[in-house]
A and B are shown apart, each in its own frame.
With several copies, the nearest count.
Chain A
Amino acid sequence: MSKYFKAKTVDNISLNKHFRLLNLSPLSDIDIPQPGQFYMLQAGDTYDPLLKRPFSIFRHEDNSLSFLYRIRGKGTLSLSHLKSGDIINAIGPLGNSYPEPHGDFIALAGGIGIASLLHLLARFKNKAHLFYGARNKEELVMLNEAKALSKESFITTDDGSEGEKGLITDSLMKFFNSLPITHYPLPLYACGPTPMLRELSKVVAGKDIKCYVSLEEHMACGVGACLGCVIKTVSGNKRVCKEGPVFDIKDIIWE
């Protein structure tokens, strides 16, 4: 059972202009991925693009792995060309995972950040107080699926095209303020763009709440060998691909 394996493309569904859902069926036995873990994926064996790209496990069913991705540049574009039957190389599952929630929890997703959180929502159904924000309606990918798996949900878009107009961290703030102090601490799990996470760190600052965030950095190896993906923490440099991607927000030193 190796973490480096080949997988066959089952399908590569276009959800809208930007988003795709890639379903893979591994050609060998694989380790079971936990919510928050990721895989390094690469389509084809050309040297351009050269490096694999990291993608969170979105769904795992007996012998299939699913990834939800947004087309950004070369790597994700080449993934989007995958057709049913195409073979791809993958490494994973990699990194740590979200600590198990006991009972209710808060899930904060920014845009494609939903990809890693949806696995958590599915694993712990109707326990999540979901906060999901994006630039606009189109960027709120898998919204209904996420809502259906959550106990309650708060939605925002920058342009108001869906849910409330505004930042998701603001509605999280409102939520906190509405709570009788005793209701803390629900653990909070967040994944999304760095600016959102930085904002979150201010929101939870001083609050007695367990807050776990999944971080992104450029990666080359994904397994801890190249030191390309480090972040600064209170206990020194940590590798997002190895000690992370999930960190306790209190340990992170934002730059």
Chain B
Amino acid sequence: MGITPNSELRTPNLSVDIAGLKLKNPVMTASGTFGYGEEYSEFLDLNRLGAIVVKGLSITPRQGNPTPRIVETPAGMLNAIGLQNIGVKAFIKDKLPFLRQFNTPVIANFFGDSIDEYIHAAEVLSNAEGVHALEMNISCPNKQAGWIVFGTDPKTMEHVVTAVRKTTDLPLIVKLSPNVTDIGLTAKVAENAGADAISLINTITGMVVDVKKRRPVLANNTGGLSGPAVRPIAVRMVWEVYKAVKIPIIGMGGIMAANDALEFLIAGARAVAVGTANFINPTATIEIIEGLEKFLIEEGLSDINEIIGSLKA
């Protein structure tokens, strides 16, 4: 398949740069689907990952929602974990030491119920040894301001991103909610408020009804849709964001295989995150990394950066 001898010889460059953070390859884990790295370390070598994004953290521990928290949908799943987590302090004390053993950057995903909670979590995480970047999950309601979801209201979003930007020198990734009319606009707001990078998409709100019980299947009624079902929406949104901002993009949403990751990279993502796929195939990330290299060789390309944003549309 058009493999020229010498392109077979040299292995192509897979490393990318996200706001000064050098990744050995563009494949990271999606927050909340990879725990704090431990669970999957028996299935794959964490050193091979581009980055590890940990489960969303808050300033204080969270118990999350009652069960059922999970329900399957066609080519997807809804989750309503309710952001259960051990809190930033326990994370730094009990989980970071394990992650520091690997030469893979750790990105701490965090969130809050209020701007103050965001600021505090960001401060604590910024001072922790072994946290290389912060990913802000703004798909949560602002309990102080009438439960408006930070990520769906430009003003609220601008405030919280600006505030966090002031409190950290780490690369700041803002993770967008897809539940908006104009994703390019929200990305622009984040960029102007000081984000170093954009990641998307977070899950899309959905519901499944148990028709005999006349009840939503999830105890929380609604949950977040992820998996292959959302991929075409996610790829479209990454492309719109790529046209709207200059900062790098981390694309995710239904990436199951290398070909899916390539769709995101070509549409403008400089890196990708793999989420739901880990549940079905614990070695999905590794297979995707190998698949990207294979693709570059077959296409006779020497550097992954050559295809980023290469979409002819």
Contacts and interface: CB of A to CB of B under 8 A. Distances in A.
Nearest to B79: A228
A231 B66 CA distance: 8
B279 A221 contact: yes
Interface stretch (B19-27, B36-44, B109-117): B36-44
A227 B64 contact: yes
Nearest to A217: B67
Contacts of A74: 72
A226 B40 CA distance: 11
Interface stretch (B168-176, B198-206, B280-288): B280-288
B289 interface: no
B79 A220 contact: yes
Interface in B220-261: 227-229, 256
B280 A50 contact: yes
Contacts, number: 101
27 contacts: A3-B43, A47-B227, A50-B75, A50-B228, A51-B279, A51-B280, A74-B72, A75-B72, A89-B280, A91-B282, A217-B67, A218-B68, A218-B69, A218-B70, A218-B71, A220-B77, A220-B79, A220-B279, A223-B39, A224-B39, A225-B35, A226-B33, A226-B35, A227-B32, A227-B84, A229-B69, A255-B66
Interface residues of A, number: 33
B81 interface: yes
Contacts of B84: 227, 230, 237
Interface in B41-78: 42-43, 55, 63-64, 66-72, 74-77
A34 B35 CA distance: 25
Interface of B: 32-35, 39-40, 42-43, 55, 63-64, 66-72, 74-77, 79, 81, 84, 227-229, 256, 276, 278-283
A52 interface: yes
Q: Which secondary structure dominates chain B's binding surface? A: loop
A221 B35 CA distance: 11
Contact of A52 (B32, B66, B71, B279): B279
A229 B70 contact: yes
Interface in A183-218: 217-218
